[in-house]
Homo-oligomer: A and B are copies of this chain.
Amino acid sequence: MKKEEAYINDLVEFLSIPSISTDASYKNDVRRGAEWLAEDLKNSGLENVEILETGGHPVVYGDWLHKPDKPVFLVYGHYDVQPAEPLDLWESSPFEPEIRDDKVYARGATDDKGQLMIHVKAVASLMEKHGELPVNVKFCFEGEEEIASPNLVPFVKQHKEKLSCDAVLVSDTPLMDKETPAIVTGLRGALAFEMTLTTASVDLHSGAYGGAVPNAVHHLVRVLDSFHDENAKVAVEGFYEGVPEATEELRSEMGRIPFSAETMKQEGGLSDLYGEEGFTPPEQTGIRPTLEINGVTGGYQGAGMKTIVPKEASAKISCRLVGDQNPGKVFERIERHVENHLPRGGAVRLDKTIEARAVTMDADNEFIQKAARAYDDFYGNRTLFPKEGGSIPIIEVFKNELGAQPVLMGFGLQSENMHAPNEHFHLENFRRGIRTVEKYLESF
């Protein structure tokens, strides 16, 4: 089909822009991404398209509001992407998209450029067919999701009227599997921070000083190891405050979500799973909070050996939060824990970078139910309503500030390497996604 090929060409063009939000050296590329997207919204028939400034990377906005009796949908997505490192593990260059076996390989393919383009192209397709849309739509695409949307909360509060809507439509989550659609009804909150541990003003010779002076890596390792007990439970006192009890009802609900340990192992190349004792993997990633070390660095890391006692070491850490866990309180508990577990001779600094509460949605809501039915023509199985392990911090803000119903329609797949080398997106789901969204909007 000619039209779909053109849509795919547009996606490939979009994916070739390295809009990496976390790294300041890509600032111009992020803006280039916004400009490209604004142009594409115009070409799709959207009106009032503009690039709105924030304290950081800009927001791309556009709307079509000519059906006063119909609901207003706000489509949210993010055009920024994760860093592409480690580059040597990519089979093709992360910003030179390659289509292999009906999948497009590029950083951002599934997270989130490929998925947000489904909505842009569904609107383009409807406009082409009918010259109008069946409902009202507003598009709001940010460039800072991968750095936890530091400017989107004030932006949403400032533009409440402009963004006002009945439902927020988001595609930044996965399908359950290739033939099973999924609408996420729970998202974990997030807390992220960097921890820097210092023991000396200079690296010391391990022969002359080793054994008598504190080693920053030893001290860091001691603190980091103290975060989890033998059963992979977080050992920070008070960490689990606000975590909902795993009732029989909740657990049987979690049990209905199809899950295969073998598939999970294959996806990650794992020899074994590993998680909090007493909970199943879907529970561990869906209804339980985590504390994860995302990176660690300290001392000599070059070629060969350097026999030093390192003066400094640091770690990047992020928590996924559930239920009523308060990110600010959790951070305070962690600060206290670190103080209590820091061996003598060490000084520690914690810098908070991300903070967001968890959010849950009611699967019986009309906007969610209609979305579930829209999938039916294009996917073999019925839609499921899982709790997701990831965090989309802004969803809670849309829900509470705009009073809108979030609808998280996934079109990605868990196996598509998001945040990892060789990220890709199944074009089959790109095509089916466009048709699903068209049908969904037509159902109102």
Is residue A347 within 8 Å, beta carbon to beta carbon, of the partner chain? Answer: yes
State A389–B290 Cα separation when bound (angstroms).
Answer: 42
State A298–B318 Cα separation when bound (angstroms).
Answer: 15
* Best-buried of A82, A210, A281, A284 by chain B (most CB within 10 Å): A210
The stretch of A44-52, A119-127, A307-315 in contact with B is A307-315
A104-148 contacts to B (CB < 8 Å): 147-148
A294 touches B316 (CB 8 A): no
Q: Which of B148, B292, B311 contacts A210 (CB 8 A)?
A: B292
Is residue A60 within 8 Å, beta carbon to beta carbon, of the partner chain? Answer: no
Is residue A400 within 8 Å, beta carbon to beta carbon, of the partner chain? Answer: no
Is residue A293 within 8 Å, beta carbon to beta carbon, of the partner chain? Answer: yes
Is residue A68 within 8 Å, beta carbon to beta carbon, of the partner chain? Answer: no
Is residue A212 within 8 Å, beta carbon to beta carbon, of the partner chain? Answer: yes
A307 touches B419 (CB 8 A): yes
The stretch of A271-279, A328-336, A425-433 in contact with B is A271-279
A68-97 contacts to B (CB < 8 Å): 82-83, 85, 89
A389 touches B207 (CB 8 A): yes
A313 touches B299 (CB 8 A): no
Q: Which residue of B lies closest to A281 (CB)?
A: B212
Is residue A224 within 8 Å, beta carbon to beta carbon, of the partner chain? Answer: yes
Is residue A204 within 8 Å, beta carbon to beta carbon, of the partner chain? Answer: yes
Contact with B along A198-210 (1 / 0, CB 8 A): 0111111111111
A26 vs chain B, min Cβ distance (A): 10
Beyond A23-B303, A301-B295, A305-B148, is A214–B316 a contact (Cβ under 8 Å)?
no
A160: chain B residues within 8 A (beta carbon): none
Contact with B along A388-428 (1 / 0, CB 8 A): 11110000000000000000000000100111111000000
* Best-buried of A270, A281, A292, A414 by chain B (most CB within 10 Å): A292
A346 vs chain B, min Cβ distance (A): 8
Q: Which 8 pairs of residues, A with B, have the shortest CB-CB distance?
A: A201-B269, A207-B390, A22-B304, A295-B299, A272-B345, A225-B225, A214-B274, A212-B281
Q: List 11 A-B contacts (CB under 8 A).
A: A199-B271, A204-B267, A205-B418, A206-B290, A208-B285, A208-B418, A210-B389, A211-B292, A212-B275, A215-B292, A217-B315
Add 6 more A-B contacts to A21-B304, A211-B284 (CB < 8 A). Answer: A23-B302, A188-B207, A203-B421, A208-B390, A213-B274, A217-B293
